[in-house]
Amino acid sequence: MRQQPPVRPLSLDSLDVSSKPHVQFLVTEHWSLLATRSMTWSEIFSRTGTYLTVLSAAVIALSLVANATGFGPDFRTFALLILPVVLLIGVGTFFRLIEADVEDAWMVLGMNRLRHAYIELAPELETYFVSSHHDDKPGLMRTYAFRDRVGVTHWMSGSPLVVGVVDAVVTGVLAGVICQAVGAAPAVRTLVGVLTAVMTAVVLGMIGYRKVHQVSRDYHPQFPG
């Protein structure tokens, strides 16, 4: 009886890339992340647009009531009813935008890991990738903004910052209306409104920073550069 030759384990490197089922799994996951990221960005634009629409409607309503009542007690009553609702929607939108940005970063890191797998399967393709294949912070920045770091203009143009500033202004206006309702002097109303707006902006900024910093601190990359 002739002895059979030993069976060598199948190596992925010995196969043509197009015949590897692993590539299909990776591509499916990649498209899933792309679709989810697209939905996340659509939600960001939708939530921001909805909040600004509500705010615009509230401003128009306040203007009409002010013209009809001459900024009297009826106007203050109406403002004290509608501004808290607008502020509630705005704060909820701000927190959701922070969460959406964190989710978007996770999906970018996931796609970087998939690119790392592509390069493991076909190392000769590395020079064709514009996005990074490392899942550390520099890799995230490289894929997200095609540079090692983002500047101040990038953060200033972000949806969370815009919504946070609008929330701070709405809070300041609400504080001024409350001061007017209790009979405070104009100078006091102005000072309280400005201080309230500044404090609100600082608090929202700290909350957003702590959320992002916590996620970044607990994350450990698997394929650092």
Dump pLDDT digits (tens) for 83-99: 999 999 999 999 999 99
Structure tokens at 205: 């900024």
Residue 157: band (very low, low, confident or very high) from pLDDT cuts 50, 70, 90: confident
Rounded to a whole number of angstroms, the distance between the first and last alpha carbons of the chain is 54
| Residue 186 main-chain phi, psi, to 5 deg | -55, -40
Distance CA 26, CA 28 (A): 5
Determine which helix (DSSP H) or strand (DSSP E) holds 19, and give its type and residue range. none
Structure tokens at 59: 């401003």
Structure tokens at 12: 């992925």
Distance CA 74, CA 186 (A): 19
User: Measuring CA to CA, which residue among 95, 90, 137 is closest to residue 112?
Assistant: 137
How many Cα neighbours within 13 Å face the side chain of 159?
Answer: 24
Residue 7: band (very low, low, confident or very high) from pLDDT cuts 50, 70, 90: very low
Q: So what's the pLDDT on residue 16? A: 52
The per-residue pLDDT of the chain, averaged, comes to: 86
Residue with the larger pLDDT of the pair 174 and 140: 174
Determine which helix (DSSP H) or strand (DSSP E) holds 112, and give its type and residue range. helix 73-121
Q: So what's the pLDDT on residue 9? A: 40
Dump pLDDT digits (tens) for 99-152: 999 999 999 999 999 999 888 888 888 888 888 899 888 888 888 877 777 767
Residue with the larger pLDDT of the pair 218 and 192: 192
Burial class (CB in 10 A: 0-12, 13-18, 19+), 177: buried
Its pTM surpasses 0.85: no
Q: So what's the pLDDT on residue 11? A: 43
- Quick check: 53 and 90 in contact, CB under 8 A? no
Residue 31: band (very low, low, confident or very high) from pLDDT cuts 50, 70, 90: very high
Distance CA 25, CA 158 (A): 34
Residue 15: band (very low, low, confident or very high) from pLDDT cuts 50, 70, 90: very low
Distance CA 181, CA 175 (A): 10
